[in-house]
Protein backbone atom coordinates (compact mmCIF):
# COMPACT_ATOMS: atom_id res chain seq x y z
CA UNK A 1 0.00 0.00 0.00
CA UNK A 2 1.34 3.44 -0.87
CA UNK A 3 3.06 5.20 2.00
CA UNK A 4 3.27 2.22 4.33
CA UNK A 5 6.59 0.82 5.50
CA UNK A 6 6.94 -2.93 5.02
CA UNK A 7 9.71 -5.20 6.30
CA UNK A 8 9.85 -8.83 5.26
CA UNK A 9 12.03 -11.75 4.33
CA UNK A 10 11.87 -15.22 2.86
CA UNK A 11 13.79 -18.38 3.64
CA UNK A 12 15.26 -20.89 1.19
CA UNK A 13 12.01 -22.88 1.12
CA UNK A 14 10.03 -19.86 -0.06
CA UNK A 15 8.26 -19.28 3.27
CA UNK A 16 7.86 -15.60 4.03
CA UNK A 17 7.15 -13.25 6.91
CA UNK A 18 6.07 -9.64 6.50
CA UNK A 19 5.40 -6.76 8.89
CA UNK A 20 3.68 -3.54 7.93
CA UNK A 21 2.92 -0.16 9.50
CA UNK A 22 -0.74 0.62 9.95
CA UNK A 23 -0.41 4.17 8.67
CA UNK A 24 1.12 6.06 5.79
CA UNK A 25 4.61 6.99 7.06
CA UNK A 26 6.69 7.24 3.89
CA UNK A 27 6.83 10.69 2.29
CA UNK A 28 8.12 11.61 -1.15
CA UNK A 29 10.65 14.25 -2.09
CA UNK A 30 12.77 14.22 1.06
CA UNK A 31 15.35 12.13 2.93
CA UNK A 32 13.96 9.83 5.62
CA UNK A 33 15.60 7.42 8.03
CA UNK A 34 13.96 3.97 8.18
CA UNK A 35 14.97 1.04 10.34
CA UNK A 36 13.61 -2.43 11.02
CA UNK A 37 14.74 -4.66 13.88
CA UNK A 38 13.92 -8.34 14.21
CA UNK A 39 15.20 -9.49 17.59
CA UNK A 40 13.43 -12.85 17.66
CA UNK A 41 10.59 -14.75 16.04
CA UNK A 42 7.41 -12.62 16.10
CA UNK A 43 9.31 -9.62 17.46
CA UNK A 44 9.76 -6.82 14.93
CA UNK A 45 10.04 -3.07 15.46
CA UNK A 46 9.86 -0.52 12.66
CA UNK A 47 11.31 2.98 13.06
CA UNK A 48 10.89 6.16 11.02
CA UNK A 49 12.93 9.21 11.94
CA UNK A 50 14.26 7.48 15.04
CA UNK A 51 10.77 6.89 16.46
CA UNK A 52 9.22 3.47 16.94
CA UNK A 53 6.02 2.62 15.10
CA UNK A 54 3.65 -0.24 15.70
CA UNK A 55 4.13 -3.09 13.24
CA UNK A 56 1.56 -5.71 12.42
CA UNK A 57 2.38 -9.18 11.17
CA UNK A 58 0.59 -9.61 7.87
CA UNK A 59 1.96 -12.95 6.69
CA UNK A 60 4.03 -15.98 7.59
CA UNK A 61 6.39 -17.14 10.29
CA UNK A 62 10.00 -17.76 9.25
CA UNK A 63 12.54 -19.07 11.73
CA UNK A 64 15.74 -17.12 12.28
CA UNK A 65 18.69 -19.14 11.02
CA UNK A 66 22.39 -18.54 10.62
CA UNK A 67 22.44 -19.95 7.10
CA UNK A 68 23.73 -17.30 4.69
CA UNK A 69 21.41 -16.43 1.84
CA UNK A 70 20.81 -13.78 -0.77
CA UNK A 71 19.66 -10.31 0.24
CA UNK A 72 17.32 -8.00 -1.66
CA UNK A 73 16.69 -4.47 -0.41
CA UNK A 74 13.91 -2.49 -2.03
CA UNK A 75 12.22 -5.50 -3.64
CA UNK A 76 9.10 -7.39 -2.58
CA UNK A 77 10.55 -10.78 -1.67
CA UNK A 78 11.08 -13.17 -4.56
CA UNK A 79 8.56 -11.32 -6.70
CA UNK A 80 10.56 -9.64 -9.42
CA UNK A 81 7.78 -7.18 -10.07
CA UNK A 82 7.49 -4.88 -7.04
CA UNK A 83 10.38 -2.51 -6.41
CA UNK A 84 10.93 0.58 -4.25
CA UNK A 85 10.54 3.67 -6.45
CA UNK A 86 13.19 5.93 -4.97
CA UNK A 87 16.80 6.15 -3.86
CA UNK A 88 18.29 4.09 -1.04
CA UNK A 89 21.45 5.33 0.66
CA UNK A 90 23.62 3.81 3.39
CA UNK A 91 21.78 0.49 3.77
CA UNK A 92 23.14 -1.51 6.71
CA UNK A 93 22.62 -5.00 8.07
CA UNK A 94 23.82 -5.83 11.57
CA UNK A 95 24.49 -9.23 13.15
CA UNK A 96 22.55 -8.20 16.26
CA UNK A 97 19.41 -6.28 17.16
CA UNK A 98 20.03 -2.56 17.62
CA UNK A 99 18.60 -0.82 20.66
CA UNK A 100 16.15 2.07 20.39
CA UNK A 101 18.92 4.45 21.54
CA UNK A 102 21.30 3.18 18.84
CA UNK A 103 18.63 3.74 16.19
CA UNK A 104 18.06 7.31 17.42
CA UNK A 105 21.83 7.93 17.23
CA UNK A 106 21.95 6.64 13.63
CA UNK A 107 19.01 8.88 12.73
CA UNK A 108 20.68 11.94 14.27
CA UNK A 109 23.95 11.13 12.51
CA UNK A 110 22.18 10.92 9.14
CA UNK A 111 20.43 14.21 9.75
CA UNK A 112 23.76 16.04 10.07
CA UNK A 113 24.68 15.28 6.46
CA UNK A 114 23.43 17.79 3.87
CA UNK A 115 20.93 16.05 1.59
Task: For the chain, 115 residues long, give each residue's pLDDT as a single digit of tens.
Answer: 567 777 777 766 667 777 777 667 777 787 788 888 876 666 778 888 888 887 766 666 666 565 666 677 777 655 666 777 778 888 888 888 889 899 999 888 876 655 4
Q: What pLDDT does residue 102 have? A: 92
10-47 as b/e, with b when 16 or more CB fall inside 10 Å? beeeeebbbbbbeeebeeeeeeebbbbbbeeeeebbbb
Gap between the Cα atoms of 76 and 4, Å rounded: 13
Q: What pLDDT does residue 112 have? A: 63
The whole-model pTM stands at 0.70
Amino acid sequence: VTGELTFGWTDDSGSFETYDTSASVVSTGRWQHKCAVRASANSVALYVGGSSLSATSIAGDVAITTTPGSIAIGRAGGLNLQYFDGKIDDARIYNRALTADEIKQLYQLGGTVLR
